[in-house]
Amino acid sequence: MNLIIDIGNFRTKIAAFEDDKLIELLAIEDAPIDSIQQFIEKYKPEYSILSSVVINDEGIVRLLNQSTSFTQLSAQTPVPIKNKYDTPTTLGTDRLSAVCGAKCLYENSNVLVINGGTCVTYELLTAKNEYLGGGISPGLNMRFSALNTFTDKLPLISFDNEFDNLIGTSTQSSILTGVQNGLIAELEGIISRYEKQFEDLAVVLCGGDSKFFDSRLKNSIFAPKVNWQPNLVLYGLNAILKYQYA
């Protein structure tokens, strides 16, 4: 049994895996150490891995070291892909994990991974199992926040999953159409440019806002090629953990 922990900017995911099968998943926003302890007591995992984009809690690391064979994901951790990134020490562990998850789904294929969270990241894994890099763009909430922060009069609003108009008829609806349709147009444009460079490209969506992207892209020409995998990072972390003990 493997224990997988992914600490993001606003949320922590804790998962138990039996080989390649996800057994249980818990997503929380508060301090996760008590929940981790409960997973350990319930499943008695032999191995564990921690990925964090924030400052790590020494108590969590100590608990995992005491209870399991523990791996803390870093730039030095062996992974089941060839990392061609020029600055691997600056590569976010969430980005690396998502790419390793894509490898599990698409062996020997060109894959574009789009992770929609605080930022929107684009990652390219080639059919030769080489991670080449990608791009980082502001996410939905960051774009809404920027309009409010850097102007005097524009209000701070949140994305509206039901809003689907092209033309805004008020300040609020103009912000919604500008941000939401603008980001979808970015996604479609980026996918199109990658398709021109890489044959038979598969596209995988993950991250907190990925369902929003998925529902919009399903109405586009990319629908047959887009695969929504909200837990892709967890599957990638599990693959990395298994690689340590293969």
The DSSP string of 102-141 is HHHHSTTS-EEEEEESSEEEEEEE-TTSEEEEEEEEE-HH
Q: List the catalytic residue out of 6, 94, 209, 214.
A: 94
34 is catalytic: no
**H or E element at residue 244:** helix 232-244
Q: Scanning the structure block, which residue is given the tokens 């032999």?
A: 46
| Residue 201: partners with Cβ closer than 8 Å, 6 or more residues away | 110, 111, 112, 191, 194, 195, 225
CA nearest to 117, candidates 98, 90, 89, 91:
98
In which region does residue 25 sit, left (phi positive, over 0), alpha (psi from -120 to 50) or beta (all else)? Answer: beta
Active site residues: 94
